[in-house]
Structure 1
Amino acid sequence: MKTQYKITLCLLAVAAVVAGCTTTPGPVNLDKLTSDIVKASFRDEGIVKVSVLDTDDTNRACSAADVAGKPLDETTARAIEAENLKSIKWPTAGKFLGDWKEGEKIAQSGRGLTYTDDAKMPNGGNCYNCHQIDKKEISFGTIGPSLYNYGKLRGVTDDPNSAASKAIVEYTWGKIWNAKAYNACSNMPRAGHMGILTEAQVAHVVALLVDPKSPVNQ
């Protein structure tokens, strides 16, 4: 750790010297310089690879807007959402719903994706860290809205094929798979898109949210 820290300090010092000897780098060059410095401070470790720091156009646009202190313009936001919507992988054979009991386990688990984890073990959804899921919970995050009564409030019935239920079920799948398809700069992880959750796991979480028998809707 000390060696990595020293390397980072050296790189920052070099960057400062270079910046002082030349004209001030533009935003694009500065972003690349920062990215290179950050990446030099990390290494592949276990299942976690340095490539996890790579960003796509969506993240870059949202980061730039955040730095500028203003939201994306409407045209850019809609274009980003449209592009992310195309990336959603809809369920095989149209099976949107899994087992809500399995979904509850996934939503309440924050395990996975750290260098000490076994790649063969399933990841958790970590949903509880941002949302209330069950009214009996005494500890939950508030970054995202409460999900309690999610399906009930949206009119999902015991028949998932009814027009009202189907629309909400499909939206819920898409939101979990890639939240940026519906909100360009959403803070919600793109669980399916980024490979955090498998297709089967997404189906289980959808069931947790919309199944009338789930504790979410009691």
Structure 2
Amino acid sequence: MTAAASAAVLSGCAGMDKSASAGASGDPFATASFQKILKDDFVSKGQASVDRLKQTKAQYECSKYDYLGQPLPDAIRKEIETTAQSKVVYPKDGQYLGDWKAGLKIAEDGKGLQWNDKPGTPNGGNCLACHKMIANDPSQGNIGPELYHYAKLRGNSEAILKYTWARIYNSEAFNACSYMPPFGEHHILTEQQMKDVMALLMDPNSPVNK
């Protein structure tokens, strides 16, 4: 279960019980029924441990206000985004682009971090599950923004490179309640893997930009 998946599970479980106790405390995750669900229905298996159910501040606040049917307060949104921006680690060598062919494999690969995956093996990014990136590929998702012709439309300035890297590293830096996994912040992808995905988005020879 990825961090994003954990947030979705917790949000869904919280939505099962809109009891008076939740309304009184303002904390839907403090209800006895929700805590019972966590205790009874989730167990550690392999590398997928129950520790992943512990929410980040962004996951907690976004789930809570979504549950309450209220917009996320601007002050909390700004705090989450500013904190995420401050934690972005840019490439140590200053080079943002790797091999787009390797990046395509990462974008197509949804394996990694599940209980039956071997710990220490490279994770996939599964980018195509949410984004349209390649022309005439019916297997692509549409949950996230379309990325086809990414660099062709945006250019490859230093500002765009840094922005794109930060988006992949932790999209909460720009959208506090983003559903996109924080690939760098949570060490889902390595720095080299992130460079390869960057090349997929930026290289003019990549199918993304054809």
DSSP-derived class of the 2:123 partner: coil
Q: Which residue of 2 aligns with 1:32?
A: 30
Q: Which residue of 1 aligns with 2:179?
A: 187
DSSP-derived class of the 2:119 partner: coil
Offset at residue 149 of structure 1 (A): 0.2
CA 1:68–1:120 in 2, change beyond 3 Å: closer, same or farther? Answer: same
State the alpha-carbon separation in 1 of the partners of residues 193 and 209 from structure 2. 19
State the alpha-carbon separation in 1 of the partners of residues 66 and 43 from structure 2. 27
Q: Which residue of 1 aligns with 2:94?
A: 94
Q: 2:129 is aligned with what amino acid?
A: N
Alignment of 1:97-116 (within 5 A): 97-116=97-116
Q: Any unmatched runs of 5+ in structure 1?
A: 1-15, 157-164
State the alpha-carbon separation in 2 of the partners of residues 38 and 193 from structure 1. 28
CA 1:68–1:28 in 2, change beyond 3 Å: closer, same or farther? Answer: closer
Report % sequence identity: 41
Q: 1:32 is aligned with what amino acid?
A: A
Q: 2:61 is aligned with what amino acid?
A: A
Offset at residue 32 of structure 1 (A): 3.0
Assess if the C-alpha contact under 8 Å between 2:172 and 2:178 holds in 1: yes
Q: Which residue of 1 aligns with 2:13?
A: none
Assess if the C-alpha contact under 8 Å between 2:28 and 2:64 holds in 1: no
2:156 is the counterpart of 1:167: no
Q: 1:193 is aligned with what amino acid?
A: E
State the alpha-carbon separation in 2 of the partners of residues 54 and 35 from structure 1. 13
Offset at residue 121 of structure 1 (A): 1.5
Q: Which residue of 1 aligns with 2:149?
A: 149
Structure showing greater Rg: 1
**4+ runs of 1 displaced by more than 6 Å?**
none
State the alpha-carbon separation in 1 of the partners of residues 177 and 67 from structure 2. 13
Q: Which residue of 1 aligns with 2:136?
A: 136
State the alpha-carbon separation in 2 of the partners of residues 113 and 187 from structure 1. 17
Q: 2:79 is aligned with what amino acid?
A: A
CA 1:51–1:217 in 2, change beyond 3 Å: closer, same or farther? Answer: same
**What is the CA deviation profile of residues 150-189 of structure 1, one whole-angstrom value per residue up to 9, with x for unaligned ones?**
0110022xxxxxxxx1111111110000000011111111
Q: 1:77 is aligned with what amino acid?
A: R
Q: With the length of structure 1 as denominator, give the TM-score of the two structures.
A: 0.81
Offset at residue 28 of structure 1 (A): 5.3
State the alpha-carbon separation in 1 of the partners of residues 183 and 34 from structure 2. 24
Q: 1:109 is aligned with what amino acid?
A: D
Q: Which residue of 2 aligns with 1:199?
A: 191
Q: Which residue of 2 aligns with 1:45?
A: 45
Q: With the length of structure 2 as denominator, give the TM-score of the two structures.
A: 0.84
